[in-house]
Amino acid sequence: MCNYPISRRELMQGAAVLGVGAASGGLHLAVPTEAFGAVPNPGIHSTSAWGARAPGALTVLNYKPTFIVVHHTATSNSTATTQAAAFSLARGIQNYHMDNNGWADTGQQFTVSRGGYAMEGRHQSLTRLNGGTTFMRGAHVGAGTVNSNSIGIENEGLYTTVTPPTALYNKLVDLCAYICDRYGIAASKIYGHRDYMATACPGNVLYSKLPQLRTDVAAKLSGGTPFSTIVDNATSGRFTASGNWGTSSWSSQRYGANYRYANPVLASDAAWFKVNIPSSGNYLVDCWYPADAGYNNATPYVIAASGGNQTVVVNQRTNGGAWRNLGTFNITAGDKNVVGVSRWTSGTGYVIADAIRVRN
């Protein structure tokens, strides 16, 4: 049986709720338009299939959940990837949650094994999901009202420094897409446990994959092929800037080895990121920059959209060292300059050009 450390569920009960706004830096993460109703059931094994114990008293919530919370089990990264191993994991989790935590049943609604098996966790969760109008109240986040508004998914393993196996990740995409489809949840509403509590869950590596998870789920909901590319200021043949732009590695919040900076000036002297757009359509554009009080408070990001350039102004004194969404733009196909960082601003302080990401 796997070991389920108490710190994953017990020691954080008194931690403060961070809230989605704080966790996402106050920025709304946009996704492509999603057409619900066409995502197949990914093959979820019921509680009876894996031999669950009878639960205690459970609560049915007669409304739809509005977001998904991703966890890791913080157990060993087992090499046993069979269905039998997955079912054993599910039984072990239920036993721990009921016998050690004193809960009525498994805390999360669903579990994904390292072998790529999706399983119902809390009783009735699968039936309610298939119905698409109600859900079972879980016990997967010990703070605030999260359990009353979300679906929790545990992913087998410990992902602080290790990447989840492909089989697990692919099944997680399929499961999230099915949940989003049945309940009408946008792919942008997939979060990590740490967004709501002071916890390392779901691990630094899995947490860093959540933006890609949202993109992949959105693609499944819309029936398209996922696309995502990152261009750093040091990416060969993909970044151009005049000699007025300097190079620095001073800030630890930089994306790669360094970033570019320039003084603001009322003249056209943008640094450009070149992207090969595979097909015309809507794309999300994100930026990454190091923040500092001496950097510009009104840096213009110029997006070469199909209807003409669109400018988004960003305060580079705050919210650095992470991807920040600039919005969704219709961009035509082709290999071309797509995002520019302009020096033409009335703001003060260095204008920074570090990295951008374009995805559908």
Q: Residues 181, 262: one domain?
A: no
19 against 100, higher pLDDT: 100
Let me know if residue 293 belongs to a domain.
yes
- 233 and 204 together in one domain: no
25 vs 294, higher pLDDT: 294
Q: pLDDT at position 252, please?
A: 96
Q: How many domains does the chain have?
A: 2
Q: Which of 142-146, 147-151, 183-187, 245-249 has the lowest mean pLDDT?
A: 142-146
Residue 294 burial class via C-beta count within 10 angstroms: exposed 0-12, middle 13-18, buried 19 and up: exposed
Residues 138, 109 contacting (CB under 8 angstroms): yes
122 burial class (0-12, 13-18, 19+ CB within 10 angstroms)? Answer: buried
Sign of CA dihedral 70, 72, 77, 79: negative
What pLDDT is attached to residue 20? 27
76 falls in which pLDDT band (50, 70, 90)? very high
Residues linked to residue 159 through DSSP beta bridges, in sequence order: none
Shared domain check, 232 and 121: no
Distance CA 134, CA 152 (A): 15
Region 197-203 average pLDDT: 95
Q: Tell me the CA end-to-end span of the chain in Å, nearest whole number.
A: 41
Q: What is the CATH number of the domain that holds 184?
A: 3.40.80.10
From residue 308, alpha-carbon distances to 30, 97, 154, 329, 332 in Å are: 20, 55, 44, 10, 11
Domain end, chosen from 222, 240, 273, is at 222
Q: What's the mean pLDDT when you consider all of the chain? A: 88
Alpha helices in 223-267 (DSSP H): none
Q: Is residue 102 part of a domain?
A: yes
pLDDT at 193 over 50: yes
Residues 214 and 248 in one domain: no
Same domain for 190 and 295, yes or no, is no
- Is the residue at 44 inside a domain? yes
Is 287 contained in some domain?
A: yes
Domain stop point among 187, 222, 257: 222
Assigned domain for 90 exists: yes
190-192 and 67-72 strand pairing = parallel
Domain that residue 339 falls in: 228-359
Same domain, 117 and 185: yes
Pair of tokens at residue 357: 């990401």
In a domain, 161, yes or no: yes
Does 1 map to a domain? Answer: no
What is the CATH number for 274? Answer: 2.60.120.260
In this prediction, residue 142 carries a pLDDT of: 84
| Shared domain check, 110 and 74 | yes
Residues 69 and 171 in one domain: yes
Given a cut of 70, whether residue 14 has pLDDT beyond it is no
Q: Of 35, 46, 156, 41, nearest to 92 (Cα)?
A: 156
Same domain, 102 and 186: yes
Q: Is 344 helix (H, G, I), strand (E, B) or coil?
A: coil
* Cβ 344 vs Cβ 268: under 8 Å: yes
Residue bearing tokens 């931690």: 15
Q: Please, which pLDDT band fits residue 30 given cuts at 50, 70 and 90? A: very low
pLDDT value, residue 37: 52
Place of tokens 């709501």: 196
Last residue of a domain, one of 195, 222, 249: 222
**Do 246 and 158 have their domain in common?**
no
Q: Are residues 69 and 157 in the same domain?
A: yes
Quote the CA–CA distance of 242 and 225 in Å, as a whole number. Answer: 36
- Whether residue 320 lies inside any domain: the answer is yes
Bridge partners for 350 per DSSP: 295
CA distance 173 to 221: 11
Pairing of strands 150-155, 67-72: parallel
Shared-domain flag, residues 115 and 11: yes
